[in-house]
Structure 1
Amino acid sequence: MPVINRIAEFAADMKGWRQQLHRMPELEFDLPRTAGFVADRLREFGVDELHEGIAQTGLVAIVEGRGPGPVIGLRADMDALPITEETGVGYVSENVGKMHACGHDGHTTMLLGAARYLAETRNFAGKVALIFQPAEENGAGGNVMVEEGIMDRFGIDQVYALHNAPGVEAGAFYTTPGPIMAAVDTFEVHIQGVGGHGAMPHETRDPVIAACGMAQAIQTIVSRNHYALDDLVVSVTQIHAGTVDNVIPDTAYINGTIRTFDPRVQQMVMRRLQEIVDGQAASYGVGARLDYVVGYPATVNDPDRAGFAAAVAAEVAGESRVVADAGREMGAEDFSYMLRARPGAYLFIGQGDTAGLHHPKYDFNDEIAPVGASFFARLVERAQPLAGA
Structure 2
Amino acid sequence: MTQHEQRPEQAGAGIGAGPGTASGPGAVAAGGGLRVPDGFLEDLIALRRRLHAHPEVGLMLPRTQEMILEAIADLDLEIALGTETTSVVGVLRGGRPGPAVLLRGDMDGLPVVEATGLPYAADTGTMHACGHDLHMAGLVGAARLLAAHREELPGSVILMFQPGEEGYDGAGVMLREGVLEAAGERPIAAYGIHVSADAPSGQISTRAGTLMAAFSVLEVRVIGRGGHGSRPHEALDPIPAMAEMITALQTHVTRRTSVFDPVVVTVGEVHAGSAPNIIPGEAHFRAGVRTFSPRMATRMAAQLPELVTGIGRSHGLTVEATFRTVLPATINDDAEAGFFARTAQGIFGAERYVDLENPRTGSEDFSRVLAEVPGAYGFVGAAKDFDPEDMPASNHSPMAVFDDSVLADQALLLATLARDRLRAAAGEGDPAI
After TM superposition, the score normalised by the length of structure 2 is 0.83
Letter in 2 for 1:90: P
Q: Secondary structure at the match of 2:142?
A: helix
Give the Cα–Cα distance (whole angstroms) in 2 for the partners of residues 309 and 111 of structure 1: 16
Q: Is 1:254–2:285 an aligned residue pair?
A: yes
- The partner residue of 2:146 within 118, 130, 140 is 118
- The partner residue of 1:265 within 296, 302, 305 is 296
- The partner residue of 1:172 within 198, 203, 221 is 203
Q: Which moved more, 1:150-159 or 1:243-252?
A: 243-252
Contact 1:297/1:337, CA 8 A, preserved across alignment: yes
Contact 1:47/1:61, CA 8 A, preserved across alignment: no
Q: Is 1:337–2:368 an aligned residue pair?
A: yes
Give the Cα–Cα distance (whole angstroms) in 2 for the partners of residues 74 and 326 of structure 1: 25
The runs of 5 or more residues in structure 2 that have no matched partner are 1-20, 22-26, 30-34, 387-391
Q: Is 1:37–2:62 an aligned residue pair?
A: no
Letter in 1 for 2:144: R
Offset of 1:8 from its aligned partner?
Answer: 6.3
CA deviation string 1:188-212 (max 9, x = no partner): 1112233344444444332322221
Residues 8/367 of structure 1: CA separation in 2 closer, same or farther (3 Å cut): farther
Residue 349 of structure 2: aligned partner: 318
Q: Is 1:26–2:56 an aligned residue pair?
A: yes
Give the Cα–Cα distance (whole angstroms) in 2 for the partners of residues 22 and 204 of structure 1: 56
Residue 128 of structure 2: aligned partner: 100
Offset of 1:12 from its aligned partner?
Answer: 2.1
- The partner residue of 2:416 within 378, 382, 388 is 378
CA deviation string 1:244-274 (max 9, x = no partner): 4443333322111112233332232223222
- The partner residue of 1:3 within 11, 18, 28 is 28
Contact 1:142/1:337, CA 8 A, preserved across alignment: yes
Residue 87 of structure 1: aligned partner: 116
Offset of 1:307 from its aligned partner?
Answer: 0.8
Residues 54/121 of structure 1: CA separation in 2 closer, same or farther (3 Å cut): farther
Give the Cα–Cα distance (whole angstroms) in 1 for the partners of residues 117 and 282 of structure 2: 42
Give the Cα–Cα distance (whole angstroms) in 2 for the partners of residues 257 and 382 of structure 1: 39
- The partner residue of 2:97 within 68, 71, 87 is 68
Offset of 1:110 from its aligned partner?
Answer: 0.7
Offset of 1:13 from its aligned partner?
Answer: 2.0
Q: Which moved more, 1:29-38 or 1:85-94?
A: 85-94
Q: Secondary structure at the match of 1:327?
A: coil
Letter in 2 for 1:100: H
Residues 54/160 of structure 1: CA separation in 2 closer, same or farther (3 Å cut): farther
Residue 355 of structure 1: aligned partner: 393
Letter in 2 for 1:331: G
Contact 1:146/1:341, CA 8 A, preserved across alignment: no
Letter in 2 for 1:21: L
After TM superposition, the score normalised by the length of structure 1 is 0.91
Give the 5 Å matches for 1:117-266. Answer: 117-122=145-150, 123-154=152-183, 155=185, 156-266=187-297
Letter in 2 for 1:282: R
Offset of 1:146 from its aligned partner?
Answer: 2.0
Residues 81/7 of structure 1: CA separation in 2 closer, same or farther (3 Å cut): farther
Contact 1:175/1:327, CA 8 A, preserved across alignment: no
Give the Cα–Cα distance (whole angstroms) in 2 for the partners of residues 253 and 107 of structure 1: 39
Contact 2:172/2:365, CA 8 A, preserved across alignment: yes
Offset of 1:91 from its aligned partner?
Answer: 2.3
Give the 5 Å matches for 1:47-58. Answer: 47-58=76-87
Residues 46/279 of structure 1: CA separation in 2 closer, same or farther (3 Å cut): same
Letter in 1 for 2:97: P
Give the Cα–Cα distance (whole angstroms) in 2 for the partners of residues 348 and 281 of structure 1: 44
Q: Which moved more, 1:378-387 or 1:367-376?
A: 378-387
- The partner residue of 2:309 within 275, 278, 286 is 278
The runs of 5 or more residues in structure 1 that have no matched partner are none
Contact 1:190/1:253, CA 8 A, preserved across alignment: yes
Q: Secondary structure at the match of 2:98?
A: coil
Give the 5 Å matches for 1:283-322. Answer: 283-322=314-353
Aligned residues: 387
Give the Cα–Cα distance (whole angstroms) in 1 for the partners of residues 427 and 372 of structure 2: 28
Give the Cα–Cα distance (whole angstroms) in 1 for the partners of residues 66 and 246 of structure 2: 46
